[in-house]
Amino acid sequence: MKDIFVCPEESNFYSNCLENFVIRNSKNHASVVEFGSGDGSPVINSLLRNKFDGVIRGFELNASAWKVANSTIDEYDLGNKYVIYNSCLFESSKPEADYLVANPPYLPAPDQDIYMPLLFGGIDGATVTNKLLSLGYENVLVLVSSYSNPESTIQQAQENGYSVNNFVVLPLKFGYYSSEPKVKKHIEELRKHGMAYYSGDYYFLAGVLFKKSQKSAIDLSNELAQVMTSL
Ligand SMILES: C[S@@+](CC[C@H](N)C(=O)[O-])C[C@H]1O[C@@H](n2cnc3c(N)ncnc32)[C@H](O)[C@@H]1O
Residue 167 pLDDT greater than 70, yes or no: yes
Point out the ligand 1 atom lying closest to the alpha carbon of residue 37. 6
Mean pLDDT, rounded, of the chain: 95
State residue 1's pLDDT score: 47
Q: Confirm or reject: Cβ of 69 under 6 Å from ligand 1.
A: no
Q: Cα of 85 to ligand 1 centre, how many Å? A: 12
Domain count for the chain: 1
Tell me whether residue 1 is in a domain. no
Confidence band, pLDDT 50/70/90 cuts, at residue 170: very high
The rounded percent of the chain whose pLDDT value lies above 70 is 97
Tallying the residues shown for the chain, one arrives at: 231
Tell me whether residue 3 is in a domain. no
State residue 81's pLDDT score: 97
Residue 217 pLDDT greater than 80, yes or no: no
Q: Cα of 217 to ligand 1 centre, how many Å? A: 31
Which residues are CB-contacts of 186 (< 8 A; sequence separation ≥ 6)?
108, 109, 110
Q: Cα of 168 to ligand 1 centre, how many Å? A: 21
Residue with the nearest Cα to atom 7 of ligand 1?
A: 11
Q: Confirm or reject: Cβ of 40 under 6 Å from ligand 1.
A: no
Residue 183 pLDDT greater than 50, yes or no: yes
Residue with the nearest Cα to atom 16 of ligand 1?
A: 118
The whole-number average pLDDT for the span 189-208 is: 98
Whichever domain contains 156, its CATH number is 3.40.50.150
Q: Cα of 227 to ligand 1 centre, how many Å? A: 25
Point out the ligand 1 atom lying closest to the alpha carbon of residue 62. 25
b/e string for 132-170 if b means 16 or more Cβ within 10 A?
bbeeebebbbbbbbbbbbbbbbbebbbebebbbbbbebb
Tell me whether residue 176 is in a domain. yes
What digits encode the pLDDT tens for the residues 103-140?
A: 999 999 999 999 999 999 999 999 999 999 999 999 99
Q: Confirm or reject: Cβ of 180 under 6 Å from ligand 1.
A: no
Q: Confirm or reject: Cβ of 62 under 6 Å from ligand 1.
A: yes
Tell me whether residue 2 is in a domain. no
What digits encode the pLDDT tens for the residues 14-28?
A: 999 999 999 987 676
Q: Cα of 35 to ligand 1 centre, how many Å? A: 7
b/e string for 19-36 if b means 16 or more Cβ within 10 A?
bbbbbebbeeebebbbbb
195 by Cβ neighbours in 10 Å (0-12 / 13-18 / 19+) ranks as buried
Q: Cα of 132 to ligand 1 centre, how many Å? A: 13
The rounded percent of the chain whose pLDDT value lies above 90 is 92
Task: Look up the domain containing 207 and give its range.
Answer: 8-228
Residue 34 pLDDT greater than 60, yes or no: yes
Helices (H), the chain: 8-18, 41-49, 63-75, 127-132, 150-159, 181-192, 221-228
Tell me whether residue 110 is in a domain. yes
